[in-house]
Amino acid sequence: MAQTLVQTDSTPVLEVRSLTQRFGGLTAVNDFNVKLLPGEMTGLIGPNGAGKTTVFNLVSGFYQPTEGQILVDGKLTAGFKPHKVTALGVARTFQNIRLWNDMTVLDNIRVAQHHWLGYGLFHSVVRSKRYLQREAEIAKEANELLEVFDLQKFADELPKNLPYGTQRKLEIARALSTHPKLLLLDEPAAGLNSSDVKDLIRLVRWIHENFDVSIWMIEHHMDVVMDLCNQIKVIDFGQTIAEGTPDEIRNHPAVITAYLGDDNI
Amino acid sequence: MKKYSLNMLLIVFAIGLLFAAHFRIIDSYIQIVVMTIGINIMMSTSLNLVNGNMGEFTCGHAAFMCIGAYISSILSVFCFGTKFGAPLLPAASVVIVFPIILLIGGAVAALSSLLVSVPSFKTRDDYLAIISIAVNYMIISAIENMDFVGGSRGFQGMKDTVWAMIDIFDGPWMLFWVINFTVFTVWVIRRFISSTYGKGVNAICQDEVAAEIMSVNTNKIKIINFMVAAGLAGCAGGLYAHIIGYVNPQSFNILKSTEAMVMVYLGGMGSLSGAIISAVIFTGLLEVLRSQAIVDGLLSPITFMFPDWEPSAGVIKWVMIPLLLVIVMQFRPEGIMGNRELGDVFPKLKKFYRFK
């Protein structure tokens, strides 16, 4: 809660203005607006096919929006490739874990720092002073990150050999190693059992407290969203149908209709 | 000690080889075989960068070899030959200029790799394979239609450069350059691929979407990776042209590309030491099976049953080598080394050298 009070002078980490995405005749996202302030933890929920992941794909630069603007930290991201958006400070995880499975855990973390390597082909071939210095810094940072995530013991393992819950954790750690201002979590609890979900809630809260990062998550496990987020947005068929605190959302008639359907069938 | 052990070994080996060649302990046939091995190592390791490490499927690697061969041949004829008029440079400068000529050939080949790398932004797999084959044909046909480099008759005259070197010092110059450039190739690739920068290539191979989202500039890395691979293949082509003293566009056709691919898949995708080992084995095998006596010996059980059949070595080796590939793919689809390096297979070697 402390973070939410200290945000008077700050620009929003993410501002989305009347975002619309059409795929042919299908309007996946329609006039979507959101403003995320630093340190906020926000949820995005909605039934299957509501366009939640499309919003994330738009924000991370994976799709170019049909209409509307996306501002990351006050900067317009129109026409940016995803790696540039990441460099601006948006990191994300995926619904289905997408780690680099044949690279060690440590390398997974290291490669995610590509945007600020500060050296190129020439330096890597001649192993210049700058190369050695940057590699040492990156290795140090990656090791520290593994340390705080308690993944140090897996540093030389391949991610595919890790348990599912640990892979989730590693994916979040990898996203954080890009030094994001905003972390997008796309269904972090998907495929986890109930005890893993509890660990995940603890982990996300811990990240929120210890890293200087806003979190925006899509999640189907209501307990996760209700527990973690202070603001929730609900979309259905690309339209925003409700937003507010968890308590407001829980009893919002439009949300209940969207999830459970009308009672007069 | 650990850091320099392999380097020392290599230097000793190279000097030994050069001495042996200089004092005619190994004859010029063996020298040619050794040089072919070197060129094949360059081809397989550089193709491995694209097909193995990046996981793209290109089968037109010989096109870049062709460009390197032609560019460096033309330059060397201009500089030291008499074909296009008087030599531009004094013959004494050949030892310094020759590697530069090879590198320029490589640089032009690297630029031409944009023909494949730009389409690779949007296509992958089979489609990129088709594009790369098309590029291979395009380049060969273009050169066949250039009369000033001899067209389909081929191009020669670069032996003048080699003679100029021999005039300065009578030694195995081409062997010297092949050893140097082979070591250079492996050195560049190893350092590139083991840096965090180069590991972006592996990230693209394993999950391109994740790589792009996790801040890897995939397009740039693809261009650079293709450029390194094509550039080194171009250097290999330049060396090849100067060893043979004659280039013909058809010697860089799809068969040559396939040879490079066979070496990569035999050695194991993404394994640098695998690519080197398989280049040695493959070239060695080609030479061994050239001997009629050995082929007769190998096939003696069959020829015993069918006494009328007299297999000729030159033909039958193209049955036996593909058969070997079929067998390897059947029983060890990941290739000789898989994606591991020598140090992973024999951990004891790590005591002497760090492989990554």
Q: Per the domain annotation, does B220 fall within a domain?
A: yes
Asked if A86 reaches chain B (Cβ–Cβ under 8 Å), the answer is: yes
In DSSP terms, A29 is beta-bridged to A21
Residues of chain A with Cβ-Cβ distance to B216 below 8 Å are: 83, 111, 114
Chain A nearest CA to B224, separation (Å): 8
Asked if A94 reaches chain B (Cβ–Cβ under 8 Å), the answer is: yes
**Structural domain for B344, as ranges:** 5-351
Structure tokens belonging to residue B124: 């992958």
User: CB of B277 within 8 A of CB of B265?
Assistant: no
Q: How many other C-beta atoms are found inside a 10 Å radius of the C-beta of residue B4?
A: 10
Letter for the amino acid at B10?
L
Structure tokens belonging to residue B98: 């020759």
Among candidate residues B263, B266, B268, the one with its CA nearest the CA of residue B339? B268
Model confidence pLDDT, tens digit, residues A150-189:
888 998 889 999 998 889 889 999 999 988 989 999 988 8
pLDDT tens per residue, chain B (356 residues)?
A: 566 777 888 888 888 888 888 888 888 888 899 999 999 999 999 999 998 888 888 888 999 999 999 999 999 988 888 877 787 888 788 888 889 999 999 999 999 999 888 888 887 788 999 999 999 999 999 999 988 888 888 888 888 888 888 888 888 888 899 999 999 999 999 999 989 898 999 999 888 889 999 888 889 999 999 999 999 999 999 999 999 988 999 889 888 888 888 888 888 888 888 899 999 998 988 888 888 888 888 888 888 888 887 777 777 777 877 888 888 888 888 888 877 777 777 777 776 666 55
Put residue B232 in one of left, alpha, beta given phi > 0 → left and psi -120 to 50 → alpha: alpha
Model confidence pLDDT, tens digit, residues A110-160:
998 888 888 888 888 888 899 999 999 999 999 999 998 888 899 888 999
| Nearest CB to B202 within list A100, A121, A138 | A100
Q: Per the domain annotation, does B299 fall within a domain?
A: yes
Radius of gyration over alpha carbons of chain B, in Å? 21
Letter for the amino acid at B111?
L
Q: How far apart are CA B4 and CA B13, in angstroms?
A: 14
Q: Per the domain annotation, does B239 fall within a domain?
A: yes
Chain B nearest CA to A247, separation (Å): 34
Q: Per the domain annotation, does B356 fall within a domain?
A: no
Query: What is the pTM for the complete model shown?
Result: 0.89
User: CB of A247 within 8 A of CB of A213?
Assistant: no
Residues of chain A with Cβ-Cβ distance to B218 below 8 Å are: 83
Among candidate residues A44, A34, A160, A56, the one with its CA nearest the CA of residue A104? A160
Structure tokens belonging to residue B353: 């050298």
Query: Read out DSSP for B6-62?
Result: HHHHHHHHHHHHHHHHHTTSS-HHHHHHHHHHHHHHHHHHHHIIIIIIS------HH
CATH code for residues A2-101+165-260: 3.40.50.300
Asked if B269 reaches chain A (Cβ–Cβ under 8 Å), the answer is: no
Chains A & B: contacts with CB separation below 8 Å: 99
Q: How many other C-beta atoms are found inside a 10 Å radius of the C-beta of residue A149?
A: 22
Residue B61 CA from chain centroid, whole number: 9
B187 to chain A: closest CA residue: A125
| Nearest CB to A103 within list B206, B219, B228 | B206
Chain A nearest CA to B288, separation (Å): 36
Residues of chain B with Cβ-Cβ distance to A103 below 8 Å are: 199, 202-203, 206
**Beta strands A90-92 and A214-218, pairing class:** unpaired
Q: How many other C-beta atoms are found inside a 10 Å radius of the C-beta of residue B153?
A: 11
Task: Note which residues in 145-184 of chain A have CB less than 8 A from chain B.
Answer: 174-175, 178
Instruction: Kindly report the CATH number assigned to the domain that includes residue B252.
Output: 1.10.3470
Every domain of chain A and the residues it spans? 2-101+165-260, 103-157
Residues of chain A with Cβ-Cβ distance to B217 below 8 Å are: 81, 83, 114-115
Q: How far apart are CA B161 and CA A250, in angstroms?
A: 83
Residues of chain B with Cβ-Cβ distance to A62 below 8 Å are: 209, 212-213
Asked if A133 reaches chain B (Cβ–Cβ under 8 Å), the answer is: no
CB contact under 8 A, B215 and A175: no
Radius of gyration over alpha carbons of chain A, in Å? 19
Give how many domains chain B has, as a whole number: 1
Q: Per the domain annotation, does B270 fall within a domain?
A: yes
Asked if A92 reaches chain B (Cβ–Cβ under 8 Å), the answer is: yes
Q: Helices (DSSP H) in chain A: which residue ranges?
A: 2-5, 52-59, 82-88, 105-111, 121-126, 129-148, 164-176, 194-210, 222-228, 246-250, 253-260
